A and B are shown apart, each in its own frame.
Chain A
Amino acid sequence: MTGRLLTLEDMQKLIGTEGKTHVLNVGPEVVRRFLEAVQDTNPLWTDESFAKSTQYGGTIVPPQLFTAIMTLARCSPESGVVPIPVPEAPLPRENVLEGEETWEFFTPLRIGDVITSRTRLTDVKRREGRLGEMFILTYESETVNQRGEKVARSINTIVNY
C-alpha cells in the first residue's frame, strides 16, 4: 500500500483474511489464573467430588474463560495499542474501540484440553458518526478441541476511526 488512507473498497478486498492459528493447552494454571483474576469460587470448576454428581460428571472449565483467551493478537508493548484479531488485515484508521462481542459454547472444555482457534475478518462497514468516519470490522473465531469437536465460536466487532 502507498501512503494513502485505506478505503472501504480496499478493506472489502481483505474480507476473508485469516489470522494465524492459535493453539492453547488449557492447563490447570491457565484456569487457576483466570479464576483468581475474576474471583469465581464456583465448585463446579474446582471440586471433583462435587462436580462428579452433576450432569458434567466432573469439573469443567468455565465457558467464560473464552473472554480471556479467545484469541486476539497481543498488543505491541511499544504502542500500547488495543489488540486486534487479524493483524494480517491492517486497520484503515488509527484509533480502536471495542464494539460488540458474542460467544457461543458447544462441547464443554475440560482441564487438559488442547484447543485450536482460527479467526477471520468477515465484514467491513463504513459509517459517519460522532467520531467522524468510522469503520466497523467484524471478525469470527472458531475453536475446536483435540478431538476436533467444536468448543466455541465468537463474533467480535471493533470500531476503527
Chain B
Amino acid sequence: MARDQVYFEDVVEGQEIPSLIKHPTHRQLVMWAGASEDFYEIHYDSEFAKKNRLPGVVVHGRLKAAFLGQMLTDWISPDGVLKRFSCRYKGTDPADQDIFMKGSVTSTRSEGSEGLVDLDIWTEQPDGTRTTQGTATVSLPSRRS
C-alpha cells in the first residue's frame, strides 16, 4: 500500500477511489471472531450455517465494515482523517470468495479549515452484486498547507 498522499485539491466528484480486494478464508473468519468476540456459528460452522438457510459459512458483517474502513484509510493515509462511515448490511457474502470494496466521491466541500470529501462506499461480489451499502466522510490535507 505504498501510495502518495492524496490532497483535497486532487479529488473530483464522481471519481472512484482505489478498490480493495479481500478473499476471506475460514481461518480469517476465525481470526476475526477472536478479534471481535463475535462467535456466532454461521461464521465458522458450515452445518449450523446451512441449518440457518445459508449456503455455507458467511463473512461477518462487521469484518466487511472493517474492510471498508481499510479501503478508506489506505486511500487517505497518512495525513487524511477518517471522520465517519456507515454500512447497511444487505446481503451475505460466502467465505472463500473474492469480495471487492469500492467507493466513489459524491461531494467535496470546505468546512472551516477542513477539506471534506463525502463518498458512497459498498462491497461487491465477483458478479457485481452489492452486499453492503454505505457512505463515508474523510478530511484531506490541502496542497497549500
**Which of B36, B38, B73, B85 interacts with A103 by CB under 8 Å?**
B85
User: B31 contacts which chain A residues (CB < 8 A)?
Assistant: 33, 36-37
Residue A129 interfacial (CB < 8 Å):
no
Question: Which one of B8-16, B60-68, B111-119, B122-130 is at the A interface?
Answer: B60-68
Contact with B along A41-73 (1 / 0, CB 8 A): 111100000110011100000111001110010
Residue A10 interfacial (CB < 8 Å):
no
Residue B56 interfacial (CB < 8 Å):
no
Given contacts A64-B69, A105-B83, contact A100 B88 (CB under 8 A): yes
Question: Which one of A1-9, A13-21, A77-85, A139-147 is at the B interface?
Answer: A77-85
Closest Cβ of chain A to B61, distance in Å, is: 5
Rounded to whole angstroms, the CA-CA distance of A102 and B68 in the bound complex is 12
**Which of B22, B69, B84, B89 interacts with A62 by CB under 8 Å?**
B69
**A84-99 residues at the B interface, CB under 8 angstroms:** 97-99
User: A41 contacts which chain B residues (CB < 8 A)?
Assistant: 1
User: A100 contacts which chain B residues (CB < 8 A)?
Assistant: 86-89, 134
Rounded to whole angstroms, the CA-CA distance of A33 and B81 in the bound complex is 23
Rounded to whole angstroms, the CA-CA distance of A51 and B35 in the bound complex is 24
Residue A104 interfacial (CB < 8 Å):
yes
Closest Cβ of chain A to B2, distance in Å, is: 9
User: A83 contacts which chain B residues (CB < 8 A)?
Assistant: 37-38, 40
Chain B interface size band reads 35 or more
Residue A131 interfacial (CB < 8 Å):
no
User: B87 contacts which chain A residues (CB < 8 A)?
Assistant: 100-101
The answer to whether A38 and B84 have CB atoms under 8 Å apart is: no
The answer to whether A67 and B65 have CB atoms under 8 Å apart is: yes
The answer to whether A68 and B66 have CB atoms under 8 Å apart is: yes
The answer to whether A33 and B35 have CB atoms under 8 Å apart is: yes
Given contacts A38-B67, A41-B1, contact A68 B36 (CB under 8 A): yes
Residue B74 interfacial (CB < 8 Å):
yes
Closest Cβ of chain A to B3, distance in Å, is: 10
The 4 closest A-B pairs by CB, nearest first: A64-B69, A102-B86, A37-B31, A68-B36
Interface residues of A (CB under 8 A from B): 33-34, 36-44, 50-51, 54-56, 62-64, 67-69, 72, 74-75, 77, 80-83, 97-105
Q: Can you list 22 contacts pairing A with B, beta carbon distance less than 8 Å?
A: A33-B31, A33-B34, A37-B28, A37-B35, A37-B63, A38-B67, A39-B28, A42-B1, A50-B78, A56-B78, A62-B70, A64-B65, A67-B66, A68-B36, A72-B38, A98-B61, A98-B89, A100-B86, A101-B65, A101-B86, A103-B65, A104-B84
